[in-house]
Amino acid sequence: MLYFIVNPASSSGKGIRIWEQTHALLDERNVEYKAFMLRKKGETKRIASKLSASGEEMTVILVGGDGTINEFLSGLDSFSHITFGVVQTGSGNDFARALELPDDPARMLDLILSGEKVRPLHIGRVLAGGVAHSFAVSSGIGLDAAVCDAADDSGAKSFLNSIGLGKLIYSFHGLKALLTNPVMKVTLETEKETLRFDKVFFIAAMNTKYEGGGYMFAPEATPEDEYLDLMIAEGIPRIKAVGMMLPARSGRHTGMKGIHIIRCRQARIHTDRCACLHTDGEVPGYFDEIEYSLSEDRLRTITGY
């Protein structure tokens, strides 16, 4: 069975516009499907739990952005009988970007209906405050999470989304946070080593290459392997950190002093102060200790490659 979960409010109404195009194409091709229209936060998780508990073989397509994807994954009890896909409508769309998915609904529907490009992908896990959270794209503690928190509270986000420039809100708040956000002392334990860092701006656990609306923080990261790529920014003078933003769009920041990429299967991070945490741009709170890992099972996912 083919199910669609639609976030009509995604990207200030872009979600409903893309869904109208998509369901017109489905009706035109006489495709049997069922659609769930989201009305409030938390509903995606409830629907995901219900679908995964059914045990029925199904394909579930989210019409939304990275935040809607995150909520859906957090509600899944099992990956075993689900094939997953995304019709991108968000402001960042980092998951769709990493999977090289087309932004045209007709081309994406061709991929969905063909069933030819499906790959088993790992999902990231983070344990914080005794609560487990999932992430498809990335999870970070420190500056990048503070940017997500500020962007969600910003009235400018809705305006920029409405004119197709939603990604700029992350760049604006990223620049502001680089100049003002406090640094952290960090102890990092992986399955291989224990490392200590002073003056850390942020640590991002990357399951894909991108976060923040197209910043290629971890050029080698892929959800197809058995590793997370931790990108750590530390000990960089603030003015030079500002200059890192442009090279980070294309992954050229990795050779800069103070940028570390650590590949690991799991990691425990302790900070000297409570810092903001995000999972795919969603903010569960502030913590001084978290643990990262990957899902044991893989989720069959429609890709563009």
Contacts of 24 (CB under 8 A, 6+ apart): none
Q: How far apart are CA 37 and CA 20, in angstroms?
A: 12
Spell 261-278 as b/e; 16+ CB within 10 A means b. Answer: ebbbeebbbebeeebbbb
Residue 224: predicted pLDDT: 97
Read off the pLDDT band of 80 (50, 70, 90): very high
Residue 243: predicted pLDDT: 81
pLDDT digits (tens, 9 = 90+) for 90-144: 888 999 999 999 999 999 999 999 999 999 999 999 999 999 999 999 999 998 8
Of 170-174, 186-190, 191-195, give the lowest mean pLDDT range: 170-174
Domains contained in the chain, CATH given: 2-123 (3.40.50.10330), 125-295 (2.60.200.40)
Summary mean pLDDT of the chain: 91
Sheet holding 2-6, edge to edge: 34-37, 2-6, 58-64, 82-88, 299-302, 118-121
Strands 58-64 and 215-216: unpaired
Decide if 202 contacts 140 (C-beta within 8 A).
Answer: yes
Percentage of the residues of the chain whose pLDDT score is greater than 70: 90
pTM of the model: 0.90
